[in-house]
Amino acid sequence: MKRRILLLFLVLAGGLGLFLALRSRPVDTRFSGAYRFPDGHVAGISPTGEESWRMRDFASGAVHTLYPEGEDLFTARPGWDPEAPAEGTVRLTSQGLTWHRAGQEIAAGRLALREKTARFQSGDAELQGRLVLPDGPGPHPAVVLVHGSEKDAATVFSHEGWLLAPNGIAVLIFDKRGTGSSEGKFGMDFGQLSDDVVAAVEWLRAQPEIDAERIGLAGYSQGGWISPLAASKTDAIKFVLVGYGMVDSPAEEDRKEAIHLLRTKGFGDAEVAEAEELIAAGHEVIRSRFEGGWERAGELKARFKGKPWVEALDDGTAGSLMKYPAWAMRLAGPRLMPRGLDRWWFHDSRPILEKLDIPMLWLIAGDDIEAPNEVTIATIQQLGARGKPFELVVYPGADHGIVLFEEKDGERVYTGYAPGYFAKKVAWIRSVTAPRS
Q: What's the confidence (pLDDT) of residue 315? A: 79
Confidence band (pLDDT; 50, 70, 90) for 437? low
Which CATH number does 114-248+348-433 carry? Answer: 3.40.50.1820
Residue 41 identity (one-letter amino acid): H
Q: What is the pLDDT of residues 191-230, one digit of tens each?
A: 999 999 999 999 999 999 999 999 999 999 999 999 999 9
Residue 230 identity (one-letter amino acid): A
Closest of 147, 158, 148 to residue 29, by C-alpha: 158
Q: What's the confidence (pLDDT) of residue 323? A: 86
Segment 151-172 shows an average pLDDT of 96
Asked whether 24 and 16 are in contact (CB, 8 A), the reply is no
Confidence band (pLDDT; 50, 70, 90) for 231? very high
Q: What is the pLDDT of residues 244-261, one digit of tens each?
A: 999 999 999 999 999 999
Domains 33-110 and 114-248+348-433 share a fold: no
Confidence band (pLDDT; 50, 70, 90) for 25? low
Q: What's the confidence (pLDDT) of residue 107? A: 97
pTM to 2 decimals? Answer: 0.91
Confidence band (pLDDT; 50, 70, 90) for 187? confident
CA distances from 357 to 50, 82, 241, 243 (A): 42, 45, 13, 19
Q: What's the confidence (pLDDT) of residue 343? A: 83
* 33-110 is a CATH 2.60.120.10 domain: no
Beta bridge partners of 108: 97
Evaluate if residue 11 carries a pLDDT over 50: no
Asked whether 316 and 10 are in contact (CB, 8 A), the reply is no
The whole-chain average pLDDT of the chain stands at 91
Evaluate if residue 24 carries a pLDDT over 60: no
- Give the percent of the chain with pLDDT over 70: 94
Evaluate if residue 22 carries a pLDDT over 70: no
DSSP labels for 111-177? P--EEEEEEEEETTEEEEEEEEE-SSS-PEEEEEEE--S--S-HHHH--HHHHHGGGT-EEEEEPPT
Segment 13-26 shows an average pLDDT of 44
Q: What is the pLDDT of residues 404-434, one digit of tens each?
A: 999 988 889 999 999 999 999 999 999 999 9
Segment 165-184 shows an average pLDDT of 96
Closest of 417, 256, 424, 338 to residue 7, by C-alpha: 338
Segment 98-121 shows an average pLDDT of 95
Segment 52-59 shows an average pLDDT of 98
For residues 381 and 324, the model is more confident at 381
CA-atom Rg of the chain in angstroms: 22
Q: What is the pLDDT of residues 280-324, one digit of tens each?
A: 999 999 888 888 899 998 999 999 999 999 998 887 888 888 888
Segment 175-200 shows an average pLDDT of 94
Strands (E), 179-338: 210-220, 240-243
Evaluate if residue 98 carries a pLDDT over 70: yes
Q: Which residues contact 411 (CB under 8 A, 6 or more apart)?
A: none
Local structure of 412: helix, strand or coil: strand
403 CB burial (10 A radius; 0-12, 13-18, 19+): buried
Residue ranges covered by each domain of the chain: 7-16+250-343, 33-110, 114-248+348-433
Q: What's the confidence (pLDDT) of residue 346? A: 93
